[in-house]
Amino acid sequence: MSDSESTHLIELDISEPIWESFFTVFPLVIVGSREADGRDDLAPKHLAIPMSWQNHFGFVCTPRHNTYQNIQRDKEFAVTYMRPSQTVLASLAASPRCDDGSKPITEAMPTFAAQSVKASFIQDGYLFLECELEQIVDNLGDNSLIIGRIVSARVAEDALRTSDRDDEDLVYTAPLLAYLYPGRFAEIKNSNKLPFPAGFKR
């Protein structure tokens, strides 16, 4: 009996989005941009990933959000990779705006300014990227893919891979935040080396 015959598979209705029918693993980052009035916009994103083996980073957003509109206007943004201890902070960043369009929780967040772009980071994250807009891919349903070129990158010392430090120990002492869509998270402290085949090249 084949694996497909021994495992009962459930056909999903693809006339609707399928992603809430199971859990998938994503990062959880805060994308920083600058509002037209000069205030910070800080928005949590989980559909976020390197876009190439070079220094490109992208994330999914909707044109309805200020984040999209700010980046389309200013052609730049910042990205903070959050730690597990910052899960509540990341969640609060998703708070809805007030009737006047303001987002008071953003003003209360501990931030620091990016160096090369007009945007802010969240303090105490572990990876900080400054990006200039490369392109926007629209019409992905209601969403768009925003792709930037990384012009500056900094990493916390405790999260930096070095030749004299074991990767397993690094992940254990500087754990990673995983967003389990929809609506759960996990702290990754334990990891194993992937058994690549001999001669493997990316």
23 within 8 A of 185, measured Cβ to Cβ: no
CATH assignment of the domain containing 125:
2.30.110.10
SS3 81: strand
Q: Are strands 111-113 and 24-26 parallel, antiparallel or unpaired?
A: unpaired
C-alpha 85/C-alpha 98 separation (Å) is: 27
Task: Give the count of domains, the chain.
Answer: 1
User: Is 70 within the bounds of a domain?
Assistant: yes
The predicted model scores a pTM of: 0.91
Which structural domain range is residue 38 located in? 23-188
User: Is 4 within the bounds of a domain?
Assistant: no
User: Is 196 within the bounds of a domain?
Assistant: no
User: Is 72 within the bounds of a domain?
Assistant: yes
pLDDT (tens, 9 = 90+) of the chain, 202 residues, equals 455 566 899 999 999 999 999 999 999 999 999 999 999 999 999 999 999 999 999 999 999 999 999 999 999 999 999 999 999 888 888 787 777 767 777 778 899 999 999 999 999 999 999 999 999 999 999 999 999 999 999 999 999 999 999 999 999 999 999 999 999 999 999 999 988 888 877 7
